Structure 1
Amino acid sequence: MNTDNPIPELSGGLRRSLAGIAGDGGLLTDPADCWPYGYDNSRRHALPQAVMFATDESQVVALVALCRDAGIPLTARGRGTGTTGATVPDRGGIVLSFERMDSILRILPNDRLAIVQPGVLNAQLQQAVGDLGFFWPPDPTSAATCTIGGNLAYNSAGPRAVKYGTARESTLGLRVVTGRGESLRTGVMTTKGVVGYDLTRLVIGSEGTLALITEATLKLTPLPETKRTLRATYGDIHSAAAAVSAIMAQPIIPCALEFMDGSAIEMVRHYAEFDLPDGAGAVLMIELDGSAACIEESVSAIGEVARNPGLLELRRAESKEEIAALWKTRKALSPTLRHIAPKKINEDVVVPVSRMGEFIEGLERLSRTTGIRIVNFGHAGNGNIHVNLLIDPDDPDEVARAAECLDAVFALVLSLDGTLSGEHGVGIEKRDFVGQELDPAALALMTEIKRCFDPAGILNVGKGFPQG
C-alpha cells in the first residue's frame, strides 16, 4: 500500500462489513469511543477510524482480508503498555484489540507447556502455571497489565532473562494470521524441531508487522526450590560494572542481576526508604535460585566475586519482607521517573557486559557536555541499560539538546558493539535510527520478507524501519 495516499474513509459498506465480522458489541466507530485505543505508553496518540475486538481466529482472518482488499491500515493491540508507539495507529485505519481473546486454553504439566490466546495477561498466566509448580520466564515490570501477545510482539523479557532468556527462548510455536489473510501454525509442540525455517522466532519481536498472533504454545520452567537475594552497594558505577563482568564470567548464573546508578539512587531516596551506606554510587540487586541443597554455596560464590575495592556493603535479604521491599524499590523506579519527568526520554539499549563501564562513563560525559540529566538502571546481567533523559518538554533549548544527546547515545551504543533495543522494540520511536545498526543488504532483505508476509502493506504500517 502506498502510504503517501490518503487512507480511504470507512464507507457505509465497509462499516457494515466490519460490523458483520465483529458481531454484537465487537466494533467501535464513534471517535469518542475509539480515542482510548489510539495510545500506548510512549505518550504518542493517533485516532483510529474503528476499533474491533476479536474473540476468535476466524474474525482475525476475515478482518485482515477486508483490510487487505480495501487498503486499510490494521494495527494490533494488547493493553497498550509498550513504550515505542508500536500500537499507535498513526496512519489511521483500524485497531484490532486482542483483549477479549484472553483464555488459557490448555496447561500440560507433563510436557511443560501452556497454550494461550494473545490477550492473556502475563500475571494471569504466571498465577495459573505457578499453582502447578511452573513459571513462564518473561517477567516485564508491567506483568500485571501487559498481555502475552504483546510480550511476544516485542520479544519482551525482564530481570529473569539473564538466566532464562527472552520470549523467543520460551515459546515453542504460534498460530498466526499473515497480512495475506492466511492462518498458519509455526513451530512445534516439542522442545526440539528443525523442520523448515524458524518462523516462530521470526514473528516474535516483529511488532505485528508480519503477522498477527492468535495463539501461542509456551515453554514452561519448573519453579525453583528456593531463592536468595543480595544487595551490593558500590562507591561508583565503574566498580559495579566490574562486579557484573566478574559475576557473569563464573559458572553460577543469577536469575536476576539488576543495577541502579547514583542518579537513580538519589531519586528513589526522595520517594521511598532506601537504607544505603554513605557514598553509594551504584547498587546491584542479585537474585539466585535453585536447589535448596546448593543455594548457600551459590550465594557464597557470588558474594566472593562481587567483592572488589569499590564495594561498600554486601547485604543479604533474610526475610520475605526484606526481599519484597528490595524489589519494590527497583520496580518503583520507572514510575518514579515518570512522576518527576512525565515526558522523559526512555531508551532501552544493550551493550556487551564487559563494556558496561565504558558505556556508563560515556553517558556521564554526554550528560556533562549537553547539560541533560541522565538516569540509568536496568538488567545488568544482559548489559541491557534503560537510559533515561530527563527533560522539560516546554523548554525548546533543552529539547534540542536532548535530541543531540540521544543521537550521541545511540552512536556510543553502536561503537561498543551494542544494539539499539533490548526489549522495548522499535515502533515509531527508534525507526529512524535502525539504518545506523542494520546494513543496507539486511534492510533490503527484511523489506522483502515483509512484502512476502504482507504484500498489501497493511499490517502496522510505518513501524520498525526507516521511512522511504
Structure 2
Amino acid sequence: MPLPAALLARLREIFPDDALATTDDDRRAAARDNSRHEHLPDAVVFPTSHAQVEALVRACRAHGVPLTARGGGTSSTGASVPVAGGVVANFMRMNRILRIAPDDRLAMVEPGVTNEALQKALAPLGFFWAPDPGSAPWCTVGGNLACNAAGPHAVKYGATRDNVLGLAAVAGTGESFRCGTQTSKSAIGYDLTRLLIGSEGTLAVITEATLKLTPRPAALRSLRASYRDAASAAHAVARIMAQPATPCALEFMDALALRLAREHQPEAGVPEAEALLLIELDGAPDALEEACAAVEAAARVDGLVQLEVARDEAQTRALWAARKALSFAQQAVTQHKINEDVVVPVSRLPALVDNVRALAEKHAVPIVSFGHAGNGNLHVNFLPRDVDEIERAYAALPELFERVIALGGTISGEHGIGVVKREFMPLALSGATLGLMRGIKAAFDPDGILNPGKLLP
C-alpha cells in the first residue's frame, strides 16, 4: 500500500533533494539486513539532524505509518527489516563525532557513526569504547545501542548497556527527550537510558549518545590452550573466571570449528584438538606476569593438550588465526547458516556444550560452537547443507532454547531478538514480564508505529 499523498508531501518538505528516496533500488537496499528476512519499505529517508527526526516521527504518527530506524544493516535477527513496510530512516548520514572529552572519559556521537570510525578517533587519545562486535567496520553506534551489542571484550568491559551514559531520542509520540547524564554516577529515578538500549528501536528513535570511554591498556598478553574434549575446555573456562585476574577476552572453539578453520586456512597453523580456548589479558606490564601465571594455572585441567603463550605481536596474531578464519570457513560450507547466540552461567557451560553435541547427533545436522566463553555466551551455528538438514536444524531450535533456559540461561546475548527469535520470547520471559514490557511500549509508542513486528511476541 503506497504512502498517503499528504505524508509523502510532508516528507519532501522535511527531507529535500536526495534525502528522500522512493526508487525501487533505494527501497531494495533498505529491505534487508544480515538475516534472511526481506520486506520493501515504501520510502527511505536520510536524516542529518534531531529536528528532522522529530518531524519525521510526528508525520508518521499522524498518518499511522510504520517507521523503522536503520544503521549499517548488520543485524542477524531481522531487527532492521521493515516487515510492515512504511518508512525506513537510514542514519548513515548522521555520522558526526560531536565531542570527545578525555578528562571526563566520554564521547558524544550521532547514531550513524560506525564502531570502527569511533575507535580510530579514540585511539590516538589513549581510549576505546568497549563494545567490539565482529561487524565493527560496518555496524553503527545506533545499531549497537539497538541490540545491546557486545563482542569478545565484554567479558571484562561489559556490553553496550554498560558503556553508555546518556541519550537523546524521539519517542513514538513525537516527543523529544534526554535521559542519563554526563557523569558516571546518577541516582535520579528510572534509568531510561538502559531501557532504550536493547529495545531495537521499538520505543524511541535515538539521535545522540553519550558514551563512556575506557583507557587503552598498556600491555596485552595472549594464550592458547587446546584440550582433548570440549568438557575439559569448558571446565577450564569456569576455573579461569573464578580467579581474580579477569581476562579481557576468553574465546571457545569446538572440534568442528577448528577443523573448518584448518581446512579453510591451512597456513594458519590451527591445532588439531577437540576444543580450544583463546585467552587475552591486559593491564600494566608489571602486573601481567602474575595475572598470566594465574590464568595458566587455572587453564591446566585434566584434558589439557597444549598451552601456548605469545611473547610478541606476531605470535599473538598466530594464536588468534583460528578464530579469525572461522567466519569465512563457515561460509564456505553453507549459505544456510543459522546463527544463535545463547548464554548460560559460566559454571553451566560444560552442560551447554554437552547439550549442543547431543542436539547435533539427535537431529543429524552439523553444529559449530564457538564464542565468548568468559561470560557463557556461545554462538551455536547450525550448518545445514540441503533441504532436509535445513528442516532438521529449525526443528532443533526450540530444543536448544529450552535446554538453555533450563540451565538458567537466556536466548540471546548480543544479537537481540528482532523477527527471528520473537516467537521464542515466552520461553525466556513470563507472561507477567511480557505484559509489563507491552505497557512500556504503549507508553513510549501508543500507536505502535516504531519498528512494528519486532521483539515482543
With the length of structure 2 as denominator, give the TM-score of the two structures: 0.98
The DSSP-based 3-state class of the residue aligned with 1:457 is coil
CA distance in 1: counterparts of 2:427 and 2:366, whole angstroms? 25
Residues 31, 49 of structure 1: 8 Å contact kept: no
Offset, 1:287: 0.2
Q: How does 1:206-225 map to 2 (within 5 A)?
A: 206-225=199-218
- Identity %, equivalent residues: 54
CA distance in 1: counterparts of 2:195 and 2:334, whole angstroms? 36
Change over 3 Å in CA distance of 1:324–1:276 after alignment to 2? closer
Alpha-carbon displacement from aligned partner over 1:209-228 (angstroms, at most 9, x marks no partner): 00111000000000111000
138, 156, 170: which one aligns with 1:145? 138
Runs of 4+ in 1 over 4 A off after TM superposition: none
Question: Is the aligned partner of 1:227 residue 2:220?
Answer: yes
Q: What is the identity, as a one-letter code, of the residue corresponding to 2:232?
A: S
Residues 343, 411 of structure 2: 8 Å contact kept: yes
Offset, 1:328: 4.4
Q: What is the identity, as a one-letter code, of the residue corresponding to 1:30?
A: T
Question: Is the aligned partner of 1:436 residue 2:427?
Answer: yes
Question: Is the aligned partner of 1:287 residue 2:280?
Answer: yes
Question: Is the aligned partner of 1:248 residue 2:241?
Answer: yes
444, 453, 456: which one aligns with 1:462? 453
1:423 corresponds to which residue? 414
Alpha-carbon displacement from aligned partner over 1:16-47 (angstroms, at most 9, x marks no partner): 21111112210111122211111110122111
2:300 corresponds to which residue? 307
Residues 186, 199 of structure 1: 8 Å contact kept: yes
1:275 corresponds to which residue? 269
Q: What is the identity, as a one-letter code, of the residue corresponding to 1:459?
A: L
Residues 234, 311 of structure 1: 8 Å contact kept: yes
Change over 3 Å in CA distance of 1:277–1:135 after alignment to 2? closer
Residues 223, 319 of structure 2: 8 Å contact kept: no
Change over 3 Å in CA distance of 1:193–1:40 after alignment to 2? same
* Structure 2 unaligned spans of 5+: none
Question: Is the aligned partner of 1:83 residue 2:76?
Answer: yes
Residues 372, 398 of structure 1: 8 Å contact kept: yes
1:3 corresponds to which residue? none
Offset, 1:276: 4.8
CA distance in 2: counterparts of 1:311 and 1:449, whole angstroms? 49
CA distance in 2: counterparts of 1:401 and 1:44, whole angstroms? 20
1:360 corresponds to which residue? 353
Moved more, 329-338 or 106-115: 329-338
Q: What is the identity, as a one-letter code, of the residue corresponding to 2:269?
A: D
The DSSP-based 3-state class of the residue aligned with 1:294 is helix
Q: What is the identity, as a one-letter code, of the residue corresponding to 2:296?
A: G
CA distance in 2: counterparts of 1:219 and 1:124, whole angstroms? 16
Residues 372, 405 of structure 1: 8 Å contact kept: no
The DSSP-based 3-state class of the residue aligned with 2:17 is coil
Change over 3 Å in CA distance of 1:277–1:121 after alignment to 2? closer
CA distance in 2: counterparts of 1:328 and 1:211, whole angstroms? 40
Q: What is the identity, as a one-letter code, of the residue corresponding to 1:170?
A: N
Offset, 1:277: 4.8
1:410 corresponds to which residue? 401
CA distance in 2: counterparts of 1:332 and 1:64, whole angstroms? 42
Q: What is the identity, as a one-letter code, of the residue corresponding to 2:427?
A: Q
CA distance in 2: counterparts of 1:54 and 1:199, whole angstroms? 24
Q: How does 1:304-453 map to 2 (within 5 A)?
A: 304-392=297-385, 394-395=386-387, 397-453=388-444
2:166 corresponds to which residue? 173
The DSSP-based 3-state class of the residue aligned with 2:280 is strand
CA distance in 2: counterparts of 1:383 and 1:232, whole angstroms? 18
Q: What is the identity, as a one-letter code, of the residue corresponding to 2:13?
A: G
Paired residues, number? 456
1:54 corresponds to which residue? 47
94, 100, 108: which one aligns with 2:101? 108
Offset, 1:275: 2.6
Change over 3 Å in CA distance of 1:277–1:464 after alignment to 2? closer
CA distance in 1: counterparts of 2:84 and 2:384, whole angstroms? 28
Residues 170, 219 of structure 1: 8 Å contact kept: yes
Moved more, 132-141 or 338-347: 338-347
2:87 corresponds to which residue? 94
Offset, 1:329: 3.2
* Cα-Cα RMSD: 1.1
1:5 corresponds to which residue? none
CA distance in 2: counterparts of 1:70 and 1:410, whole angstroms? 39
2:66 corresponds to which residue? 73
Q: What is the identity, as a one-letter code, of the residue corresponding to 1:432?
A: E
Moved more, 444-453 or 19-28: 19-28
* Structure 1 unaligned spans of 5+: 1-7
The DSSP-based 3-state class of the residue aligned with 1:119 is coil
Moved more, 31-40 or 107-116: 31-40
Offset, 1:320: 1.2
125, 129, 136: which one aligns with 1:136? 129
Offset, 1:10: 1.3
The DSSP-based 3-state class of the residue aligned with 1:76 is strand
CA distance in 2: counterparts of 1:256 and 1:388, whole angstroms? 20
Q: What is the identity, as a one-letter code, of the residue corresponding to 2:240?
A: I
Alpha-carbon displacement from aligned partner over 1:406-463 (angstroms, at most 9, x marks no partner): 1111111011010000000000000000011110100111001000000010000010
CA distance in 2: counterparts of 1:263 and 1:438, whole angstroms? 32
Moved more, 336-345 or 159-168: 336-345
Offset, 1:402: 1.4
Residues 41, 82 of structure 2: 8 Å contact kept: yes
CA distance in 1: counterparts of 2:133 and 2:315, whole angstroms? 21
Q: What is the identity, as a one-letter code, of the residue corresponding to 1:388?
A: N
CA distance in 1: counterparts of 2:315 and 2:147, whole angstroms? 32
Offset, 1:235: 0.8
CA distance in 2: counterparts of 1:335 and 1:186, whole angstroms? 40
Change over 3 Å in CA distance of 1:274–1:309 after alignment to 2? farther
Residues 74, 96 of structure 1: 8 Å contact kept: yes
Offset, 1:292: 1.0
Offset, 1:246: 0.1
Residues 277, 312 of structure 1: 8 Å contact kept: no
